[in-house]
Structure 1
């Protein structure tokens, strides 16, 4: 007999704002925006009080302040958010056998089979209380037979609530919700469904899947399955040890700083692009320098969670100056980004302005479509066709 799946989805409510409120309780109950400067910055996160005025993440800060002029704008504290995320991860790690961290503030837990020993919903509620008690952060969760319904249940439970959808009741729960509530359903897809008079998930449930496939192709079946609460996707065990790295061996030993930095820029650029493609960010940066006699030196430093080369490249150059004795020629140079976790581009919004975000999105779109290094910094052009193979390591 196949055990019924039981999946919990956890989301820390307004995570960045909640962390800031721990350090400054006077922010509680006020409209708060976390992000860049008021003139060119972008909203990384905002409180529910600000959302009531239409403010949302990735919105230009100046536009947000027009909607909510009394909002308090904070720059954000990378270190605080990373540490808070680690605290929550450790609590979850010690409480359950199988979980998946999908971003700095979001988790899935697989309770399948544990109903033989525990009341899963009761255990989940106790875990939520433990996290709130030990971290002081508000948290919401949803529980159901699959990841999609659980995530949607969490969204309905917010702020600071919990919701259980029993087996067999998934369609009943989903039916009255707007189609825009389906995770991953883009605005253009929703707009097209609206043209056919489909505005609620219940209407999608009754729509012939063949019609949806004729309109949206393979995406049609995906939409129909989500609307009917069908999601068999697995929960992949979490690991804190993943990294991405690359090395370059010179044909002849080299001691030209400019040439070495050119290689480093290109290597870092490709690794950062791979991170964004995988929807990941890194919090540790390191380089490796190997001399002609095979003596190897490394340098590393903790960094703000990022996948942006305008942050990574200066760090790499700084580490090179620390690691390399410039009187000795180099035979190999390497770059490594580690302590990876899943995270959307929003995490970079603290340091970015509108123009930079649009630039990265445009570069990635071109490179993902036509191949790596179709567009890159001029410094990295000369090694674009060399034998240079980044690789993933677990």
Structure 2
């Protein structure tokens, strides 16, 4: 049975939320992100794109390209709340949905046509979201997640597009290969060197050729180019907290060891947040002494998944908690009040260099796994012999340098 997959994307989400709360921004060029020269563009209105501006660009460059743009620092908490409103509307309407990010959703409407036209249902859902949230949203409807996502991109801004069963290949064929999710700059360069500019060329190639050039990713790319995608909808469940704790083999009073342990816990939990597209607004630390008396302390913070925000809070809580002249049996760290949202939200505070650092550290973890011996990312990576990692210094003090070597670690 053919599936019916709906993909919905809130248009220029951060900008739309700002305009909802200040209609003076309507129809004007708007940039959301870090307001300083070293900040990064988190989102930009359609009015700025004709100047060559895009998300991820340095704010300094964006302001040079479009000096008349209004620059807004952004409010991660406000965006998360607006996203929750839309999530609640969708949950009340469809049988199962996936929240892919703070502004992107999938829903499985397979079999619904027996009771209600799926396209009509999608239109009604879009109208309700616009009416009750006050935000523009686009959708694509097809037999797979990939084709629906591409259809949404073609429908924008503030519109919808349905791809009929059997027309998936025809729909994708004339598009540039960059339109296929997973084709980044590196893959696009490989395809360009092969003379492949459009999806139709991939469709006409034997899958074996793509596999020979790109391995398993080549097979995946060939399937996507042909509209073949059976990836499931992952049901959305809001996780409330994540935590980590460690019982020492022998009770300890070594402050340096304990601080290194909670720092490593915080780094690994922050990495889990970023990997799962989550943000936290509550940090807590726990200490259990050798007499089994247990104490904990927590602090509320703006939504984040950034090490340079979380680690100092963890260390501060630990220093406040550790006030007894007694050996320690256990330490633990907990992040709670989680919401869906990726590290893009933290671009309001981050410099381009810091974002590069996080990408480098997360890439190291993706390749080598996480350390479970209580070592921070710097000391752990140094033991692995990763070049230049020991020269980073403390990544939580000031703006760290760009470290190109780590991108190939």
User: If the length of structure 2 is used for normalisation, what is the TM-score?
Assistant: 0.85
Q: What does residue range 204-353 of structure 1 map to in structure 2 within 5 Å?
A: 204-241=202-239, 243-253=241-251, 259-320=257-318, 324=321, 326-327=323-324, 329=326, 330-340=328-338, 343-353=341-351
Q: Shift of the alpha carbon at 1:126?
A: 0.9
Q: What does residue range 314-393 of structure 1 map to in structure 2 within 5 Å?
A: 314-320=312-318, 324=321, 326-327=323-324, 329=326, 330-340=328-338, 343-373=341-371, 376-377=377-378
Q: Shift of the alpha carbon at 1:301?
A: 4.4
Other structure's SS at 1:95 match: coil
CA RMSD of the aligned region, Å? 2.5
1:266·1:380 contact (CA, 8 Å) conserved in 2?
Answer: no
Q: Shift of the alpha carbon at 1:280?
A: 4.0
Whole-Å separation in 1 of the counterparts to 2:231 and 2:25: 39
Whole-Å separation in 2 of the counterparts to 1:366 and 1:170: 37
Relative contact order (C-alpha < 8 Å, sep 6+): which is higher?
Answer: 1
Q: Shift of the alpha carbon at 1:327?
A: 3.0
Which string of whole-angstrom CA distances, capped at 9 and with x for unpartnered residues, describes residues 292-331 of structure 1?
4434444444443432110111222344456x36236443
1:50 pairs with 2:48: yes
Query: Would the alpha carbon gap of residues 279 and 90 (structure 1) be closer, same or farther in structure 2, given more than 3 Å must change?
Result: closer
Q: Shift of the alpha carbon at 1:262?
A: 3.1
1:141·1:157 contact (CA, 8 Å) conserved in 2?
Answer: yes
Alignment-derived partner of residue 129 in structure 1: 127
Other structure's SS at 2:377 match: coil
Other structure's SS at 1:327 match: coil
Which string of whole-angstrom CA distances, capped at 9 and with x for unpartnered residues, describes residues 198-223 of structure 1?
21212221111111112212221111
Q: Shift of the alpha carbon at 1:15?
A: 0.8
Structure 1: stretches of 5+ with no match in the other structure? 383-394
Q: What does residue range 154-169 of structure 1 map to in structure 2 within 5 Å?
A: 154-169=152-167
Whole-Å separation in 1 of the counterparts to 2:205 and 2:240: 42
Structure 2: stretches of 5+ with no match in the other structure? 384-409
Which string of whole-angstrom CA distances, capped at 9 and with x for unpartnered residues, describes residues 125-179 of structure 1?
1111111111111111111111000100111111111111111111111112111
User: If the length of structure 1 is used for normalisation, what is the TM-score?
Assistant: 0.88
Whole-Å separation in 1 of the counterparts to 2:367 and 2:239: 30
Other structure's SS at 1:45 match: strand
Query: Would the alpha carbon gap of residues 118 and 339 (structure 1) be closer, same or farther in structure 2, given more than 3 Å must change?
Result: farther
1:194 pairs with 2:192: yes
Match of 1:14 among 9, 12, 15: 12
Number of residue-to-residue matches in the alignment: 379
Query: Would the alpha carbon gap of residues 47 and 10 (structure 1) be closer, same or farther in structure 2, given more than 3 Å must change?
Result: same
Query: Would the alpha carbon gap of residues 301 and 83 (structure 1) be closer, same or farther in structure 2, given more than 3 Å must change?
Result: farther
